[in-house]
Copies of this chain bind each other. A is one copy, B any other.
Amino acid sequence: MFILLVYDIGEKRVNKALKICRQYLDWVQNSVFEGELTKAGLETLKKRLGKIMNKEEDSVRIYKLRSEDYLTMEILGIDKKQVADDGIL
């Protein structure tokens, strides 16, 4: 399934969250990740994030779609993923 993950995590924990999310999904913009994951893969990601998060302060929104076909996406301004991939960021 296609996953879009957006987090709002405290400064002390956000680098750990970034490292974990990058192992499962593509970083596309500050705090935003996209990609295909199996159910099992998502459960593992959630468990690992759960261990480093402060559940009273931090928030992770996980949007799930059966397929990316249901989604169209448009960018205004720069594509930070592209810029990062080109090694400019």
A17 to chain B, nearest CB (A): 10
A57 to B56, CA, bound (A): 32
Q: Which residues, 32 to 82 on A, are CB-close (under 8 Å) to B?
A: 32, 46, 49-50, 53-66, 70-80
- Grouping DSSP codes into helix (H, G, I), strand (E, B) and loop, the A interface class, with mixed when no group exceeds half, is strand
How many copies of this kind of chain does the complex include? 2
Contact check, B61 vs A66: say whether CB atoms are below 8 A apart: no
Contacts of A56 in B (CB 8 A): 77-78
**A15 in the interface, Cβ–Cβ < 8 Å?**
no
Judge whether A18 is part of the interface by a CB distance below 8 angstroms.
Answer: no
Given contacts A4-B4, A29-B8, A32-B6, is CB(A60)–CB(B77) below 8 Å? yes
